[in-house]
């Protein structure tokens, strides 16, 4: 008798869910505090009418939070976390739409100031 025939369908879904979680285990992600800081900045910029959409990508080598003025455009900013650079320039960076690295550092709070200050100057 085959075990898969006798298994409960909910158990099969649970096994599939665990397998999917394990396959994503080797991806770089933002932790809760990092996402909280980024989304606070995003909320303020949306309230000011500067930003309208975002996307989050969790890749094998880095995590990327992309910010859009309109959904059909290229991102105006990319906030990236690349752990490979943690001991060098710092794992956090803010990159403009042209690909220019505006700021890189070890602390997310300080790196995000490059975007906050631009709003204060305008």
Residue 38 C-alpha from the chain's centroid: 9
At 8, the pLDDT band (50, 70, 90 cuts) reads low
Instruction: State the pLDDT at residue 23.
Output: 52
| Chain-centroid distance, C-alpha 19 | 23
Domain ranges of the chain: 32-121
Torsion of CA 100, 89, 36, 79, to 10 degrees: 20
pLDDT tens string 11-66: 666 555 555 554 556 888 889 999 999 999 999 998 988 888 999 999 899 999 99
Rounded CA-CA distance 82/90 in Å is: 8
**Cβ-based burial of 71 (10 A; exposed 0-12, middle 13-18, buried ≥19):** exposed
Whether the per-residue pLDDT at 1 is higher than 60: the answer is no
Which residues, other chains included, contact 68 with Cβ-Cβ below 8 Å and sequence gap of 6+? 51, 52, 53, 54, 55, 74, 75, 76
């Amino acid at each position: 008798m085959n075990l898969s025939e006798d298994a409960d369908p909910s158990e099969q879904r649970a096994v599939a869910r665990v397998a999917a979680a394990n396959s994503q285990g080797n991806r770089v992600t933002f932790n809760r505090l990092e996402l909280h800081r980024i989304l606070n900045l995003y909320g303020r910029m949306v309230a000011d009418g500067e930003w309208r959409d975002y996307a989050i990508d969790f890749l094998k080598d880095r995590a990327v939070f992309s910010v859009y003025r309109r959904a059909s455009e290229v991102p105006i900013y990319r906030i990236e976390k690349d752990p490979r650079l943690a001991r060098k320039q710092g794992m956090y960076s803010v990159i403009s739409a042209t690909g220019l690295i505006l700021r890189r550092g070890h602390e997310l709070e300080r790196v995000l100031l490059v975007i906050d200050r631009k709003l204060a100057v305008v």
